[in-house]
Structure formats: C-alpha cells, structure tokens
Amino acid sequence: MSKLGIFASLTAFVLAIGFATLSPTSARAGGPTPCVHKEFKTEMVKAACSKGGQAEAKIQMKTFQKEHKLDSCNSCHLKLAPNYELKDDGLDKFTKAGGK
C-alpha cells in the first residue's frame, strides 16, 4: 500500500511540473518569442526568425544540425537561450557545413 502512495505522489509531482512549464504560444501576448538578434549573418536564421521567432529558428538549426551530422549546438554556440551567442569560429563552422 505504501508503494502505491509513493507512486501517486511521484506522479502528481511530475504532472504538476509538466503543467507548470507548459506555455502555449497562443496564450502569450504578442505571439511567438522574437529572436534576440536583429542583424543576421545567415539567410536561414533570418528567414526562420521572421517566420516564427526563436522557436522556428531553433527548429531550423536543429534540423540543419541533424542533416549535416554536427555534434551539438555547443560546437558553434558559447551559450544557448536566450541570446545564442556564437563562438568566434561558429559562423565558419556553419558555412563549412553547407549553411547559407
């Protein structure tokens, strides 16, 4: 019986955390989160940011990463969200992998 109580408590905790972190785009004022950078060095990120903000840019970059078999986001970026700062050679790695 105590195992059932522990399981129920754990399930309730996980569900509470899950619901707390949900934030649908339509519920936010102003639509999707805009990209932080306003000057873009790549066509792909510029188009993604204008289409759907940070979320779309992230989807495009992850797709590019998988297609070109790059190790991780941290191979080009110093830090990720919210500013996605590039390493000094990040743009070069992107273009050498085939990015525009």
Range 23-28 average pLDDT: 49
pLDDT in tens, 68-95: 998 899 989 999 988 999 999 999 999 9
Which pLDDT score is estimated for 60?
Answer: 95
- 44 has a pLDDT exceeding 90: yes
Q: In this structure, are residues 95 and 37 in contact, taking their beta carbons and an 8 Å threshold?
A: no
Which pLDDT score is estimated for 27?
Answer: 45
Range 13-33 average pLDDT: 65
Query: Comparing 97 with 10, which gets the higher pLDDT?
Result: 97
Which pLDDT score is estimated for 9?
Answer: 77
Please compute Rg for the chain using Cα positions: 19
- Sketch the domain layout of the chain as residue ranges: 32-100
- 18 has a pLDDT exceeding 90: no
Q: At CA 55, angle to CA 54 and CA 61, rounded to 5?
A: 85
- State pTM to two decimals: 0.64
d(CA 43, CA 83): 18
Range 46-73 average pLDDT: 93
